[in-house]
Structures are given as structure tokens and as C-alpha cells.
Amino acid sequence: MQPSIPELRRDSVVAQSSSRSRLSLLLQSPSAKFLTSPDFFTVLHSNPSAYRMFTTNTCLKHMISKVRRDAHHFERYQHNRDLVAFLNMMANKQLELPRGWEMKHDHTGKPFFVDHNCRATSFIDPRLPLQSTRPPSVLAHRQHLTRQRSHSAGEVSPRRLVGEDPRHAGPPVLPRPSSTFQLHQQGAESGRGATYNDKIVAFLRQPNIFEILQERQPEFNRNHSLREKVQLIRTDGGSGLARLSGDADLVMLLSLFEDEVMCYVPPHALLHPSYCQSPRGSPVSSPQNSPGTQRANARAPAPYKRDFEAKLRNFYRKLETKGYGQGPGKLKLIIRRDHLLEDAFNQIMCYSRKDLQRSKLYVSFVGEEGLDYSGPSREFFFLVSRELFNPYYGLFEYSANDTYTVQISPMSAFVDNHHEWFRFSGRILGLALIHQYLLDAFFTRPFYKGLLRIPCELSDLEYLDEEFHQSLQWMKDNDIEDMLDLTFTVNEEVFGQITERELRPGGADIPVSEKNKKEYIERMVKWRIERGVVQQTDSLVRGFYEVVDSRLVSVFDARELELVIAGTAEIDLSDWRSNTEYRGGYHDNHIVIRWFWAAVERFNNEQRLRLLQFVTGTSSIPYEGFAALRGSNGPRRFCVEKWGKVSALPRAHTCFNRLDLPPYPSFSMLYEKMLTAVEETSTFGLE
């Protein structure tokens, strides 16, 4: 006997209700609560083994970040081996199991835990530290500080605690956000002081903040990425902080300074009497609104007011006004894929300075019929940069710190015609800049300073040689009188032979002392950065400025120029999806589109970059994110169009950042077809 339609619907409703109930119980589990607790990072820092695993396992860090942003992600990751191992490292096995829990062992002897309350099993030990690890004195001190802040800012409590005697109630307390980056709605009419995010920005804008962070977190100076994120917040303020709201490293760093952030007040705010004495609820009670603060801000230097986006728009506007890349002449490059560098070098080096600056760029690949509405040009810069700056060819080498950033190699002096090759490299950088194409190469910070002809400092050595930087930094920070037997010389290796080189005339007879160590450090920095690459750098800079006027580029600092030339390799899937358009009947909730994004999420980062390169011609992402992807005639978003038979592979139109995706009948077919397309296809079709 077949069940009736109402019975089927009832069963479906019951199943959905049961699923929601299981999810609700899962989110109340000790492991989910621990991962999303405000004290998670504080507890993590107290467990060296777990902290080491967290900082070295990128996948683990990604999973925890997603769960802390949205606890529902825990359902997906709860059985992940790395996450289970990490959580079990945090468990206190000396404690008794919570009520209703039981530990058993499977046939291999591996322990697992039975939650009789929820009728569920898990390999995660539930004895996790859910209570705050801070001693009572610290918590009491924090509450005292919070009351002081609330009182001084004139905050009004929305409600009184149940059972509290109003006659003995202290000043109202605003709860600290459960997340370091929780954003508060703030309006002028609220009369409220700085939000928690404002306090973070103010705290990080202290002149000596890097020394403060280094003292509490010794690994900070060696984490270049984290230093740059802090600098981004110092420069961009709240907008930069919002963009980094999901960054686990930054959240963990700031969790060490929660007390300091909460009680930090900018020095200029303390000078104004309204900070401590103001009518309750008055708008002027906010330090940001006081006249003294406004005058202080008017006198303050402007590094935090620089608008990079406006600067970039102004740069491109000046290029257009001066006729860069506008024609009427054409810079025609006809490239054989199997002779890419050779063809590019021979053709680009034949053009004059004027032609390079004024001509409109046109690239075509031999044997491919694609019209250049920017697709082939974009892929040309992607491919030529991947080969030209590859350490395999000897012109460049990986920095001492990683295999991600490259720098000019001292051994490049033995490459035939190396000066012309570096001049060609500079021209490639210049052409990519004026035609707004990104390169698939990431250089060290001193490289960009060299392009801008900006002198390097001791801190720049971090990007080249971390150990060398630490040695000089120690010398700078400590009294070295009668400690080091050094002279103004350095040992160099040339053809396997160690030779001594003087850093200044007569340097072999000049001992390094506390009095002259500053000069010694400066000369050592200059030697290490310029070591064997001065002439190569000069040739590259010469080629770069043959294409673009140095006065136009000088508006950028090294970090900004890096973003303009190389973009970023980090893919934000939510940003990608929210900046994608659909055609031909597709929409964001269409089943094929849901399968598409599920496939992209399943891809590893390399496969995602391959997909991006397949559709747009480049795997680099503009610093503004996917909203700033460019097409043939300006900004053009990533697009997915319904097209083709289900037997066909997806097709790309790189000039228009468009993917033609057939309406495949199953996820497995779509996944396989996409993999085949992005990994085995590399030519252009005619639009």
C-alpha cells in the first residue's frame, strides 16, 4: 500500500524538524561552544602544542575562522581529522566527563565519546575549557575598567539586571563584544563614545605599536603578512579593519591586548575636559566630537587620511590625459606559445620609448583566432611574468624567507645579455602598469623600493633575510661596547672563494663600537640589499621608466605599488560570489549555479586560481577584490551564462570575464567537466 501525499509531506516536515533539532543540539555541544567562545584565543595561547598546530596548519586555521564567523559551519567540519586532533589537544583529560557523557573504545582501541543527552557520538573529547581561564582578580579589574569607561562616556544602560537593587547599582556596563571585530551601529544621536572597533584602530595607531606587539607576541616581527595587516588598519582605519574581520592571525594577536584596547584613550582625547566631565548622554561627551580633538586632528600628519583608491584613480586619469596607451599607433605582439619569452623579448625591445608609452597594445597567439578585447593581452602578461620571473631562468631567485616572493639574483650576472633582459623586465612591468594588467609574480618589498628609488631601511631586511635582520636588530637594540670583535668589513663568497670587502675606505682598521654602530648597520643594510645586483637593478629601473614617467609613479609607496602591479593571490569566495553576474536564465539560487559554487568550494586554492585564469586570463585579483575585475573596456564582473549542450565542456570568454556553463544534470558531471576545462584548456575562442 503506497503512502498518501499528505503522509509524505508530513514525513518530510518531520525529517526537516528532526534535522533542525540535531543541528541545534550540535551547536550546543562543548566543542562548538568552545570554538566560538570569546576566550578561545586566550586559551589557545596557554597551550603551546595546540598553538603550534594552529599556526602551522592553514586548513585548520581556515576551518576555525569559518566556524567562529558562523557556528553552522561546525556541522560540516566536525569530523575533520585535524580539527578533532586539535580540539582533543585542548581537552583536560584529568577532569570527569560532563553529565550524560560516556567514553568507549572502537575495535581498534580508539576512544570515542557518547553523548546520551543528544544521542550522538563523537571523537572529540567534551572536557574542553568552556570557563574563562582568567583569574578572578583580572576579571574584576576588567569590570572595574568597564564601569569607569561607561561612566565617563555617559552610557545609559538599556535595562537593569533582574534582582539588582537600584540604590546600590553601579554605573551601567556595556558588555564587551563577543568577537574582537564585532561591528556596532553608531549614530551621532546615540551619544555613545568610541565603538570597540574605533578603540582597536586608535590602539594600533600608537607610534610605538610595533614594539608593543613584539613584546607580547615574539613571532610578530617574523610574520610579515601580519605586520602588513596591522599597517593596513593603521592606514585605512575602520574600513581596513572591516576587511580583515575574519583573519584568524589578526584576531588571535588582538586577543592578547583586549584589556589594553578597552581602556586605551588617545592622548589628545585626555587633554579635553569633556572626556571625563560631560552631561550624561550629551553628544559632546564623545572624545571624537570634542573641539580639542578636532583641532588635534587638523594638526596631525596625514598618513591615515591617504585614500589609495582615489590615488589610483587619479594615476590612471593622468595616464589617459597624457595619452598613455591611447594610440593611434598599435603595439602589435604576435606570440608563439612555445617561444613566448623569445618572441616577447625580440618584439618589445625593438620599440622606441615613445611607441611603448603611446601605442595601443594588441596581442595575438599564433594559430588562435581570438580577437584581442583584452583577453589575450591579459593572459600574455600572466604567462610572460610566470616565465620571466621564474628563478629557473637565473635572473631572479626566491627570497631567503619563502618560496613565494622573488628578488634579483646576484648570479644573474652570469646570464648572457643579462642587462638587456633586466631592461626587458622593467618594460614588462611598465607595460602591465599602464595597460592595467596584473602580473603573476610577487616581489620582495625592497624590490618595489628599488623601482621607486626609495632608500631601504633595516626593517626591509626582514623581507630578504630574516636571520641577518635579527642579528642587526639585536646589535641596534643592545649595548655592544667591548662585546663584538667586528670591523667595517664583510665576507663575500665569489666563485666559491671567501673574500673580505671593506664597507668604507680603511674599514678593516675601524672597529665597530657603540658610538659608530649606527653607521655600520646602515652600511651593512645597503651591502646586503645591493649585494651583486646594483647594475641589474639599474637596468630594470631604466626599462621601467622608459615606459612610464617616474613623476607619475612617485605618488605610490612600495606597498601600494605592489598592490597595483601584482594584486593579491588570496581568494575570498564570498566576495567572488557576491560580485558574479548570471545570464541565460541562471540566477544565484539556480540548482546548476549552486552546484557550480559547491564545486568551486571543493577546489583547492590552486584549482580556484586555475579557474579564475581560465575565465579571466589571469590568476591575480585586484586589491579591491572581484568587484574591480576588468574586461575589454573597463570594469567587468565575473559572469556565468547558461550555454551549450551537456556533452560539451564549459567555455570561457576572457575578454568579457564570462564562463559559458551548460545546464549539467548532476553535480558530479559538472564537477568533472569543470576540472577538465580548467586543467586541460589554454587557448582562446572567437567571441
> Which of the residues are catalytic?
655
What distance in Å separates the CA atoms of residue 607 and residue 560, rounded to the nearest whole number?
28
What distance in Å separates the CA atoms of residue 13 and residue 19, rounded to the nearest whole number?
10
Q: State whether residue 397 is helix, strand or coil.
A: strand
Cell numbers representing residue 179 in the block = 568577537
Q: How many CA atoms lie within 13 A of 450 on its CB side?
A: 24
- Counted residue by residue, the chain has a size of 687
What distance in Å separates the CA atoms of residue 366 and residue 337, rounded to the nearest whole number?
7
Count Cβ atoms within 10 A of the Cβ of residue 454 and give its class: 0-12 exposed, 13-18 middle, 19 or more buried: middle
Cell numbers representing residue 260 in the block = 589594553
Q: Are 628 and 308 in contact (CB under 8 A)?
A: no
Q: Which amino acid is at 645?
A: K
Q: State whether residue 147 is helix, strand or coil.
A: helix
* Cell 593581452 belongs to residue: 377
| Chain CA centroid to CA 297, Å | 29
Question: For the chain, what is the radius of gyration of the CA atoms?
Answer: 30
Q: Are 126 and 115 in contact (CB under 8 A)?
A: yes
Strand 630-631 and strand 634-635: pairing?
antiparallel
Q: How many CA atoms lie within 13 A of 177 on its CB side?
A: 18
| Helices 248-255, 224-236: crossing angle, 10 deg rounding | 80
Q: State whether residue 492 is helix, strand or coil.
A: strand
Q: Which amino acid is at 214?
A: Q
Q: What is the 3-state secondary structure (H, E, C) of 46-59?
A: CCHHHHHHHHHCHH
What distance in Å separates the CA atoms of residue 634 and residue 436, rounded to the nearest whole number?
10
Q: Are 676 and 665 in contact (CB under 8 A)?
A: no
| Helices 48-56, 81-90: crossing angle, 10 deg rounding | 160
Q: Are 90 and 110 in contact (CB under 8 A)?
A: no
In the sheet with 111-115, reading across from the earlier edge strand, the strands are 101-105, 111-115, 120-122
What distance in Å separates the CA atoms of residue 276 and residue 268, rounded to the nearest whole number?
13
DSSP of 222-273, one letter per residue?
G-HHHHHHHHHHHHHTHHHHHHTTT-HHHHHHHHTTHHHHHH---HHHHTSG
Q: State the CB neighbour count (10 A cutoff) for residue 222.
A: 14
What distance in Å separates the CA atoms of residue 487 and residue 125, rounded to the nearest whole number?
59
